[in-house]
A and B are shown apart, each in its own frame.
Chain A
Amino acid sequence: TQLLEQSPQFLSIQEGENLTVYCNSSSVFSSLQWYRQEPGEGPVLLVTVVTGGEVKKLKRLTFQFGDARKDSSLHITAAQPGDTGLYLCAGALIQGAQKLVFGQGTRLTINP
């Protein structure tokens, strides 16, 4: 059983469309991170959210942490082929914890 469930696991859309990826849990997290990973490379940290209800924007990407700190979403506006990759959410169960729990990832493909 995954502590962090990501959905969808696979998503293929056309360039210019909008999309949302979800990361859900029954556990409360002190912080949550989103990473993007390309084939043959390590994950790259996109954002960290720590406060319930927090919203962070990174260009066309909007990240939200749920009020209860049990879930998060990543919304991409006007997706570009360069957004293609594996998106991973990861959470720390305890403040300052060094061990992150990862979701299984969402593989996103943006078609030109």
Chain B
Amino acid sequence: GAGVSQSPSNKVTEKGKDVELRCDPISGHTALYWYRQSLGQGLEFLIYFQGNSAPDKSGLPSDRFSAERTGGSVSTLTIQRTQQEDSAVYLCASSPYWGGQPQHFGDGTRLSIL
């Protein structure tokens, strides 16, 4: 498709399980971002990639969170040993150039931890 694609769109899992969220950015976009949005709230920055490199990991809430990007394209966000406070919508965005802000967001993965 032409936009940022995220999968799954919804994920329900039990506390303590690991989850993996996937983002396919717009083809050719070099910058990729992950944000988290709690119910009805603004977005919280998690991490961004320039190519396959993540210069700023300061937004990751804990060491249970990790992210990688391969081939300058697809990115995965992994949450280990999930907790109930991890429940949120995880949004991915991409931009075509370095130095810009997120321009194109995906529709997110709604994560629910039981």
**Chain A residues engaging chain B, CB cutoff 8 angstroms:** 2, 4, 6, 31, 33, 40-45, 48, 86, 88, 90, 92, 96, 98-105, 107
For B44, the closest partner residue in chain A by CB is A102
Most buried by B among A96, A99, A102: A99
Is B68 positioned at the interface, with any CB of A under 8 Å from its CB?
Answer: no
Give chain B nearest CB distance to A52 CB in angstroms: 18
Q: How far is the CA of A43 from the CA of B33 in the complex (A)?
A: 13
Interface residues of B in 69-114 (CB under 8 A from A): 91, 93, 99, 101-108
Give chain B nearest CB distance to A7 CB in angstroms: 13
**B105 partner residues in chain A, CB cutoff 8 A:** 42-44
> How many inter-chain residue pairs (CB < 8 Å) link A and B?
59
Q: How far is the CA of A98 from the CA of B101 in the complex (A)?
A: 6
For A32, the closest partner residue in chain B by CB is B101
Contact assessment for A102 and B101 in the assembled complex, using a CB-CB cutoff below 8 Å:
no
Contact assessment for B101 and A92 in the assembled complex, using a CB-CB cutoff below 8 Å:
yes
Q: Tell me whether A105 and B101 are in contact in the complex, defined as CB-CB below 8 angstroms, given that A40-B107, A41-B107, A98-B56 are known contacts.
A: no
